[in-house]
């Protein structure tokens, strides 16, 4: 029984990572169809994730930058501190939230950079015969692996 529970936990964890990756691609602006094809899920599953997770709302809200969001949080905290209305617990939670935003922002930034790079490669393909669709497909595969490993907390290179 313990072995079955371990397998179920592992499958759930992998599904959570796939769902998080789909969410990041969606928030980046990719279509549901492209995301479903890219990560190997059905369009019905993708649609359900978008609907149940309110990803459309998140996508709309994502136009605010991390810097703006943190500035607003800090301004609110500053006002509370001046009035003596902020506890140590609230300050700790604020610090934790900012740290989480930084981690998420790093993955989102990576995805945005990869997307811009892919667009550049596709445009550059007109001028450079060494850039082929196969090369772009291979690079995209490794970009996706890199993002997946980051989401899972795997770091292969020395940092």
Alpha-carbon span 158 to 153, nearest angstrom: 13
Full-model pTM: 0.43
Single out the residue of 60, 25, 28 nearest to residue 39, CA to CA.
25
For residues 48, 40, 17, 55, the Cα torsion angle rounded to the nearest 10 degrees is -30
**For the chain, what are the domain ranges?**
1-63
Tell me the per-residue pLDDT of 69-119, one tens digit each, with 9 for 90 and over: 777 778 888 888 888 888 888 888 888 877 776 666 567 778 778 888 888
159 pLDDT tier (thresholds 50, 70, 90): very low
Task: Give the chain's largest Cα–Cα span.
Answer: 65
> Distances from the Cα of 124 to the Cαs of 24, 104, 143, in angstroms?
26, 30, 18
């Amino acid at each position: 029984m313990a072995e079955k529970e371990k397998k179920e936990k592992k499958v759930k964890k992998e599904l959570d990572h796939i769902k998080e990756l789909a969410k990041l691609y969606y928030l980046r602006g990719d279509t549901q169809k492209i995301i479903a094809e890219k990560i190997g899920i059905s369009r019905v599953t993708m649609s359900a994730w978008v609907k149940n997770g309110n990803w459309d709302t998140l996508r709309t809200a994502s136009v605010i930058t991390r810097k703006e969001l943190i500035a607003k949080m800090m301004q609110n905290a500053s006002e509370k501190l001046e009035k003596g209305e902020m506890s140590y617990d609230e300050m700790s939670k604020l610090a934790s939230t900012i740290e989480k935003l930084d981690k998420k922002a790093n993955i989102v930034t990576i995805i945005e950079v990869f997307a811009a790079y892919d667009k550049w490669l596709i445009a550059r393909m007109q001028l450079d015969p060494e850039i082929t669709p196969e090369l772009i497909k291979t690079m995209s595969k490794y970009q996706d692996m890199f993002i997946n490993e980051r989401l899972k907390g795997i770091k292969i290179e020395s940092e």
